[in-house]
Every structure is written in structure tokens, then in C-alpha cells.
């Protein structure tokens, strides 16, 4: 069939959606659970020490959700914070994208429930891209605003990892934690979100995963599954493969490392952050997100939480350029340069 034959007859052509010329992040919000858990509370169950955890990961403490904190409730809090920071009305949100791997229902998604909590009936769906989920969500929101499918999009990265962590597992018990971060993406007069460099390597899917499938849990009468990680393999992949991705995101944005005002990588391990910094040859004095020390690894929430904190504490400038990169289970990754709200 020729392309000509596919063209609609007469006046029956479809009107293309028209969106904004550009998109940017209007505001950021976060929710950090109240309970602070220092390394000393964890070490006995994993035969570890505060010194070992700090030296190998940079983590000093983390936040754990309380019994009343859920993926939905933490998201709602972060969302309200982000919408207030954006200076818009809740009713202006036309789509919600939630990135999470710890919503405890296989279906439905968390996003429609969060929308309902906000009094909205807008498009609402979850994505599963683990620790890279927030950067995936920002990319989708950018395209949605520019494509005309929504004027304002709420992107949420949220995890209650403690519900899926084995506190006797030496490889994960001290790493994973809880929290939610959110961003409002909307129309802009200038490009506020650079091209996303993203991809996957599914051949390594087993390196971070739910320990057993739901079917094995059912058929073999297994207990509650948790998230397991082949730490060393993921560490090597992150250190060697992610710096080139970050470099491509800088180039795709048409800037040089010297133009950056912040480097905000996923908070997986302080040593991974340091190794990436070295490889990227960023300016020596560039502010770098090191939220992992007090927040540990909150997967999809780590980048928005770190960014929100750095902005609030005046460490990075409103209107500055930040390079953000997420990477994790899949294995998947996504990176882009953004203008800080
Ligand atoms: O968020 C998604 C992406 N995630 C990541 O990027 C995480 C990547 N991985 C990591 O951050 C690191 O692999 C960990 C922090 C998880 C582990 O650090 P590591 O330096 O890779 O430790 P290792 O597994 O190579 O273990 C080193 C040693 C071993 O002892 P030997 O064989 O050298 O005697 C382990 O038995 O440390 C021992 N060890 C521990 N010791 C005290 C392993 N876990 C512990 C522990 N406490 N919790």
C-alpha cells in the first residue's frame, strides 16, 4: 500500500495535537518520612558496622515510612508541595505519571488513586523504570506538554522500599529507604528540558529484581518477596556505563560541562557518584547531590528529593542548569539536562 492510499479522503483529516513550543519544570516537592534510622539500628541483623556502611556506600542514616505512610499518601504530600511550589492550582494538572516499584497492588496503578486524593479525574498512570523512573517521567511529561496531550503534568517518583526489603540481607538492608519526590512540568517560553538519553540492557535483568515472581510465590507457597541485588555487578555497570550516558545528555543539550550548575545523579552509592564525577570531568566546584548520606537509596524518589533539598537549602540556583541521571533495575537508565525551577 502506498502512503498516498493511506491519506484520509476529502476533509476527513485528523487535527494534529498542538502543544507548547517548550516545556520546563515549574516546581518541585518532596516528602521525607519522619522516622530517622541510623546505621546503628541495622547493623546487628546483617553483621555489619556503621564504619563499613559509611565507607562502602556513604550512607549514615535513612528515613523509614511509618505504618500510615503509603506510596499513595507519600505521593499526595509530595504532589501538594510541588504544585504549591509551581504556583498553579491543583485543577490545572491534566496528567499524572507515577514511577514506583513498591505500590503493593499489582493493579490498579497508584496514579489514579493519587489523582482522586487530589480531587482530580485526569489521565493518571504508573510507569516501572525503577531508579531511572523519575527521569523517564520527566521525558514523557516534556513530550506530552509539547505534543499537546496535557498542559501541566505531575511527575512523581515514590517508593516504600521497606515493604520489599529483607532486613537480614547484607546486600540491601542498609541501602533501601522510603520517600516521595514530585515535579510539575508545564509550558515554557524557552527549552527547560533537554533531550533525554535513555536505554536498557535487559540481559542483566536478574541483577536487581523481586526475589521470586508472584507465580512462584503462589505455586511454591513462598513468603513475601523482597528486592534482591547483585551489588557488585550493578556497581560495575553504573560506574562504567553511566558516565558516557551523562556525557551524551550534556552534548545533546548543546552545552558544555562548564555550563552546568548542578550534578544530580541517582543516589545509589556515594562511591558511584564520586566515580562518575571523576570520569565526567565536571567543574571542580560544581554542587553535587549527596543526599544519600541522610536519605539512602529511595529509587525513583532520589533525584527529585535531592534536587528539592538542594534548591531549598540554596545550594543550587533557580534557573541554573542541572544534569540528572537515573539508573537501576531492568537494567534501565535515563539522563537529561534541565533548567532548575
Ligand atoms: O539503585 C539501583 C542501583 N543500585 C546500585 O547502583 C548499587 C550498586 N552496588 C553497591 O552500591 C555496592 O555493591 C554495595 C554497597 C551494595 C556493596 O558494596 P561492595 O563494595 O560491592 O561490597 P561487596 O559485595 O563486594 O562485599 C565486600 C566485602 C565482602 O567480604 P570479603 O569477601 O571481601 O571478605 C562481603 O562479604 O564486604 C562484605 N560485606 C559486608 N560487610 C559488612 C557485604 N555486605 C556487607 C555488609 N556489612 N552489609
What pLDDT was estimated at residue 3? Answer: 76
For a ligand 1 pocket test, name from 46, 48, 56 the mutation site with the most ligand atoms within 8 angstroms of its C-beta. 56
Q: Is 266 a catalytic residue?
A: yes
User: Mean pLDDT throughout 176-200?
Assistant: 98
Catalytic residue among 122, 131, 136, 142: 131
Measure the CA–CA gap between 73 and 139, rounded to whole angstroms.
Answer: 24
Name the 3-class secondary structure at 185. strand
Grade residue 7 by pLDDT with cuts at 50, 70 and 90.
confident
User: Mean pLDDT throughout 283-295?
Assistant: 95
pLDDT > 80? residue 6: no
Measure the CA–CA gap between 198 and 249, rounded to whole angstroms.
Answer: 9
Residues comprising the chain, all counted: 341
Q: Which atom of ligand 1 is nearest to the CA of 266?
A: 1
Q: Kindly state the cell numbers that stand for 261.
A: 550548575
Grade residue 123 by pLDDT with cuts at 50, 70 and 90.
very high
Grade residue 104 by pLDDT with cuts at 50, 70 and 90.
very high
- Superfamily for domain range 197-339: Thiolase/Chalcone synthase (3.40.47.10)
Measure the CA–CA gap between 231 and 296, rounded to whole angstroms.
Answer: 15
Q: Is the backbone of residue 299 left (phi > 0), alpha (psi -120 to 50) or beta? A: left
Angle between helices 302-312 and 133-147 (to 10 degrees): 80
Share of the chain above pLDDT 70, in %: 99
Q: Of 5-14, 184-193, 224-233, 272-281, give the lowest mean pLDDT range.
A: 5-14
Angle in degrees, CA 253, 259, 261, rounded to 5: 105
Catalytic residue among 103, 142, 266, 269: 266
What pLDDT was estimated at residue 306? Answer: 98
The domain segmentation of the chain, as residue ranges, is: 22-188, 197-339
Q: Kindly state the cell numbers that stand for 174.
A: 542498609
Q: Of 5-14, 83-92, 136-145, 301-310, give the lowest mean pLDDT range.
A: 5-14
CATH class of 22-188: alpha beta
Residue of 192, 100, 158 lying closest to 305 (CA atoms): 158
Same fold, 22-188 and 197-339: yes
Whether 84 and 319 have beta carbons less than 8 Å apart is answered as: no
- DSSP lists the bridge partners of residue 185 as 25, 153
Measure the CA–CA gap between 243 and 276, rounded to whole angstroms.
Answer: 6
Measure the CA–CA gap between 269 and 59, rounded to whole angstroms.
Answer: 8
**Entry pTM:** 0.95
> Tens of pLDDT along 56-95?
999 999 999 999 999 999 999 999 999 999 999 999 999 9
User: Mean pLDDT throughout 115-135?
Assistant: 98
Measure the CA–CA gap between 103 and 307, rounded to whole angstroms.
Answer: 23
Measure the CA–CA gap between 248 and 260, rounded to whole angstroms.
Answer: 14
pLDDT > 80? residue 172: yes
Strand-strand pairing, 332-339 and 321-328: antiparallel
Q: Kindly state the cell numbers that stand for 220.
A: 511454591
Q: Kindly state the cell numbers that stand for 275.
A: 566515580
Residue of 317, 24, 5, 2 lying closest to 183 (CA atoms): 24
277-294 core/surface letters (b: 16 or more CB in 10 A; e: else) = beebebeeebbbbbbbeb
pLDDT > 80? residue 255: yes
Average pLDDT, the chain: 96
Q: Of 11-15, 37-41, 211-215, give the lowest mean pLDDT range.
A: 11-15
> Tens of pLDDT along 20-30?
999 999 999 99
Measure the CA–CA gap between 294 and 197, rounded to whole angstroms.
Answer: 29
Compute the half-sphere exposure of residue 333: CA atoms within 13 Å on the CB side of its CA.
26
Distance 173 CA to ligand 1 centre (A): 11
Distance 115 CA to ligand 1 centre (A): 39
Q: Is the backbone of residue 196 left (phi > 0), alpha (psi -120 to 50) or beta? A: beta
Q: Which atom of ligand 1 is nearest to the CA of 238?
A: 6
pLDDT > 90? residue 16: no
Distance 121 CA to ligand 1 centre (A): 44
Amino acid at each position: 500500500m502506498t502512503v498516498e492510499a493511506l491519506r484520509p479522503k476529502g476533509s476527513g483529516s485528523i487535527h494534529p495535537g498542538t502543544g507548547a513550543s517548550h516545556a520546563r519544570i515549574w516546581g518541585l516537592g518532596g516528602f521525607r518520612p519522619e522516622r530517622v534510622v541510623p546505621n546503628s539500628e541495622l547493623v546487628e541483623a546483617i553483621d555489619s558496622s556503621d564504619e563499613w556502611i559509611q565507607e562502602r556506600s556513604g550512607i549514615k542514616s535513612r528515613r523509614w515510612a511509618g505504618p500510615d505512610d503509603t506510596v499513595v499518601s507519600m505521593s499526595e504530600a509530595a504532589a501538594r508541595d510541588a504544585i504549591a511550589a509551581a504556583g498553579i492550582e491543583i485543577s490545572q494538572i491534566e496528567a499524572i505519571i507515577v514511577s514506583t516499584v513498591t505500590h503493593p497492588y499489582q493493579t490498579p496503578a497508584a496514579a489514579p488513586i493519587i489523582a482522586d486524593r487530589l480531587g482530580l479525574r485526569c489521565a493518571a498512570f504508573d510507569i516501572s523504570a525503577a531508579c531511572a523512573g523519575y527521569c523517564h517521567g520527566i521525558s514523557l511529561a516534556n513530550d506530552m506538554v509539547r505534543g499537546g496531550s496535557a498542559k501541566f503534568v505531575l511527575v512523581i517518583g515514590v517508593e516504600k522500599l521497606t515493604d520489599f526489603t529483607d532486613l537480614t540481607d547484607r546486600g540491601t538492608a542498609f541501602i533501601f529507604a522510603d520517600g516521595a519526590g514530585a515535579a510539575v512540568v508545564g509550558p515554557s517560553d524557552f527549552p527547560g528540558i533537554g533531550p533525554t538519553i535513555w536505554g536498557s540492557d535487559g540481559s542483566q535483568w536478574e541483577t536487581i529484581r523481586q526475589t521470586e515472581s508472584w507465580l512462584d510465590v503462589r505455586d511454591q507457597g513462598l513468603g513475601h518477596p523482597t528486592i534482591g541485588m547483585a551489588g557488585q555487578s550493578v556497581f560495575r555497570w553504573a560506574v562504567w556505563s553511566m558516565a558516557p550516558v551523562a556525557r551524551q545528555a550534556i552534548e545533546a543539550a548543546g552545552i558544555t560541562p562548564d555550563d552546568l550548575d548542578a550534578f544530580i545523579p541517582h543516589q545509589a552509592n556515594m562511591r558511584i557518584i564520586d566515580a562518575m564525577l571523576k570520569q565526567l570531568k565536571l567543574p571542580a566546584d560544581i554542587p553535587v547531590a549527596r543526599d544519600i548520606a541522610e536519605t539512602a537509596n529511595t529509587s525513583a524518589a532520589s533525584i527529585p528529593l535531592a534536587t528539592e533539598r538542594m534548591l531549598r537549602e540554596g545550594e543550587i540556583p533557580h534557573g541554573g542548569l542541572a544534569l540528572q541521571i537515573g539508573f537501576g533495575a531492568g537494567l534501565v537508565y535515563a539522563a537529561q539536562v534541565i533548567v532548575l525551577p
